[in-house]
A and B are shown apart, each in its own frame.
Chain A
Amino acid sequence: MLKVNDINVYYGNIHALKGVSLDINQGEIVTLIGANGAGKSTLLKTLSGLLKPKTGEIVFEGEHVAGKVPQLIVKRGISQVPEGRRVFANMSVEENLELGAFLRKDKKGIQEDFEKIYQLFPRLLERKKQLSGTLSGGEQQMLAMGRALMARPRLLLLDEPSMGLAPLLVKTIFQIIEEINKTGTTILLVEQNANMALSIADRAYVIETGKIVASGLAEELSASDQIRKAYLGGH
């Protein structure tokens, strides 16, 4: 479904991604784990078209999309839930969701998706008219996810959805991610919370200072000594 081939991304002369390659198959949950500053968000921003790779290719469902504008990428079916949620705090929950469907014209489909999202996140329905800036962190995370789903993506990119949330809430969010995946949306999940991420993922990649240093089935990686030492807090 998605094939990233040897991309190099720079911020000025900072070399943030150094020859990164990865594959995502239809229907999978793939997780990308790595420490703070490893280049996870940079990769997602590049996939969404916010950053252009200097070299390398990104192929989504057979189409070369590297360096294409974010609009086109959303249209093709890749949506992102950015790090830190980035909800439009000055707008209501409902308006945020509407913006998620910005490029869609099918009024009926949009209406159906509103209902689906309110079913998935009943909290959002209760707070539909509330300014999103007044929501709690967990609710904002739900809103950011709902907003991305409003574009009806085939591939959903999630950037550290558990960040700053209480453990119980993290669990809920991860359950919802699995649920979203079951309805047919492929998922690339970026996390520092490697334990949780590996527990729901099919496959995983490990990134360190801009390079993929390990990859494989999620269970295998969770069992590997090296990974446990570096990312899962020992034993």
Chain B
Amino acid sequence: MEQLIQQLVNGISLGSIYALIALGYTMVYGIVKLINFAHGDVFMVGAFIGFYSITVLHLGFFPALLISMVACAIFGVLIERIAYKPLRNATRIAALITAIGVSLFIEYGTIYIRGAQPEAYPSNIVPLKSLEIFGVKISGQSILILAVSLCLMIILQFIVHKTKIGKAMRAVSHDQDAAKLMGINVNNTISATFAIGSALAGAAGVVFGMYYTKIEPLMGIIPGLKAFVAAVLGGIGIIPGAMAGGLLLGVIEALVSAAGGSLFRDAVAFVVLILILIFRPAGLFGKNVREKV
């Protein structure tokens, strides 16, 4: 039983990382209907920026987290302006292929700049104490991840529902022309969406580094794909769906591991993807309506 709860806690920690990445996928999809396959690589870049902030600039965890988020926000906006904006009226498949190209460019660009060798993340920079609740030991890392993710998600909800830019984002994702008629600058709103989604991915990269203590240039691929599955699981384009989908996927993975299927762990996400596409293609939070043409 304690074993099980332990795994559940691990699953939630991992899941909240998936959730942070999935939010970027889902927000960008919601507004430009593009699966930004380079999103996992923004997560990787975030992990490295956090790493260098700590090891080279000797910053603490929170300043490093903040720098990584800001840098990734800028990086995300650049990707959007340079690679995706010129294709906004192109076919979806053209944009998708471009996204895959951007992804490869970032991965191999990083390897070209700093080499392919992994780094050991300095996870001891925050004095973390583990907690024991009813005999279940929760590691300091887990608590940190949960706390950071929870805060970011609350901030995100606040931005999306209470601020002007958040309302503009929702308006543009619902109806671009109607949003323009309100005087909303659609280009800036799309950029803001990329900025926020990328900042969350950057944060996810830093906490991922703290948790797994190893980072490398291709580290974004698998978590990126899983976060994509999480976004689809929750209903792509739906923000609470991405949060729930991420957590659920993390927990499912942890439980499968606990049941002795740890070799099977990475495949679970894709089984989930196939099941959801067969039985509930709009996702758990999505309405099963056909898309307007």
Interface string of B152-190 (1 = CB under 8 A from A): 000000000000100110110011011111111100000
Give the nearest-CB partner of A144 in chain B. Answer: B178
Please judge, given known A-B contacts A74-B182, A151-B183, whether A82 and B177 are in contact too, CB under 8 Å: yes
Please judge, given known A-B contacts A91-B171, A95-B167, whether A86 and B183 are in contact too, CB under 8 Å: no
CA distance A80 to B185 in the complex (A): 16
- Which residue of B167, B170, B178, B183 contacts A82 across the interface (Cβ within 8 Å)? B178
Interface size class, chain B:
10 to 19
Please judge, given known A-B contacts A90-B170, A98-B167, A102-B168, whether A74 and B175 are in contact too, CB under 8 Å: no
Query: Which residues of B from 186 to 245 have beta carbons under 8 Å from A?
Result: none
CA distance A148 to B180 in the complex (A): 12
CA distance A151 to B181 in the complex (A): 10
Q: Assess whether A99 is in contact with B167, with CB atoms less than 8 Å apart.
A: yes
Min CB distance B125 to A, Å, is 42
CB of A70 within 8 Å of the partner chain: yes
Please judge, given known A-B contacts A91-B170, A99-B167, A102-B168, whether A48 and B175 are in contact too, CB under 8 Å: no
Residues in A whose Cβ lies below 8 Å from that of B182: 74, 99-100, 102-103, 147, 151
CA distance A95 to B170 in the complex (A): 10
Residues in A whose Cβ lies below 8 Å from that of B179: 99
Residues of A within 8 A of B (CB): 48-50, 69-71, 74-75, 79-80, 82, 86-91, 95, 98-100, 102-103, 147-148, 151
CA distance A22 to B190 in the complex (A): 36
Give the nearest-CB partner of B178 in chain A. Answer: A86
Give the nearest-CB partner of A91 in chain B. Answer: B170
Q: Assess whether A70 is in contact with B174, with CB atoms less than 8 Å apart.
A: no
Give the nearest-CB partner of A44 in chain B. Answer: B181
Q: Assess whether B170 is in contact with A70, with CB atoms less than 8 Å apart.
A: no
CA distance A47 to B177 in the complex (A): 13
Residues in A whose Cβ lies below 8 Å from that of B171: 88, 91, 99
Interface string of B33-72 (1 = CB under 8 A from A): 0000000000000000000000000000000000000000
CA distance A103 to B50 in the complex (A): 37
Q: Assess whether B180 is in contact with A70, with CB atoms less than 8 Å apart.
A: yes
CA distance A39 to B293 in the complex (A): 22
CA distance A210 to B164 in the complex (A): 38
Residues in A whose Cβ lies below 8 Å from that of B174: 88-91
- Please count the residue pairs between chain A and chain B whose beta carbons lie under 8 angstroms apart in the complex: 60
Residues in A whose Cβ lies below 8 Å from that of B183: 70-71, 74-75, 102-103, 151
8 residue pairs bridging A and B, Cβ less than 8 Å apart: A70-B180, A71-B184, A74-B181, A79-B181, A80-B181, A82-B181, A88-B175, A147-B182
Give the nearest-CB partner of A95 in chain B. Answer: B167
Please judge, given known A-B contacts A82-B177, A86-B177, whether A71 and B185 are in contact too, CB under 8 Å: yes
CA distance A90 to B30 in the complex (A): 12
CA distance A70 to B177 in the complex (A): 9
Extra inter-chain contacts (11) besides given A71-B180, A99-B179, CB under 8 Å: A50-B181, A69-B185, A71-B183, A86-B177, A87-B178, A90-B174, A99-B171, A102-B184, A103-B183, A151-B182, A151-B183
Give the nearest-CB partner of A89 in chain B. Answer: B174
Min CB distance B249 to A, Å, is 25
Residues in B whose Cβ lies below 8 Å from that of A99: 167-168, 171, 179, 182, 184
Give the nearest-CB partner of A150 in chain B. Answer: B182
Q: Assess whether B181 is in contact with A48, with CB atoms less than 8 Å apart.
A: yes
Give the nearest-CB partner of A81 in chain B. Answer: B181
CA distance A75 to B174 in the complex (A): 22
CA distance A103 to B184 in the complex (A): 8
Residues in B whose Cβ lies below 8 Å from that of A82: 177-178, 181
Residues in A whose Cβ lies below 8 Å from that of B164: 102
- Which residue of A50, A71, A89 contacts B177 across the interface (Cβ within 8 Å)? A50
CA distance A194 to B175 in the complex (A): 29
CA distance A139 to B184 in the complex (A): 24
The 7 A-B residue pairs with the shortest CB-CB distance, nearest first, are A74-B183, A103-B183, A86-B178, A70-B180, A102-B182, A71-B183, A99-B182
Min CB distance A146 to B, Å, is 13
Give the nearest-CB partner of A80 in chain B. Answer: B181
Give the nearest-CB partner of B168 in chain A. Answer: A102
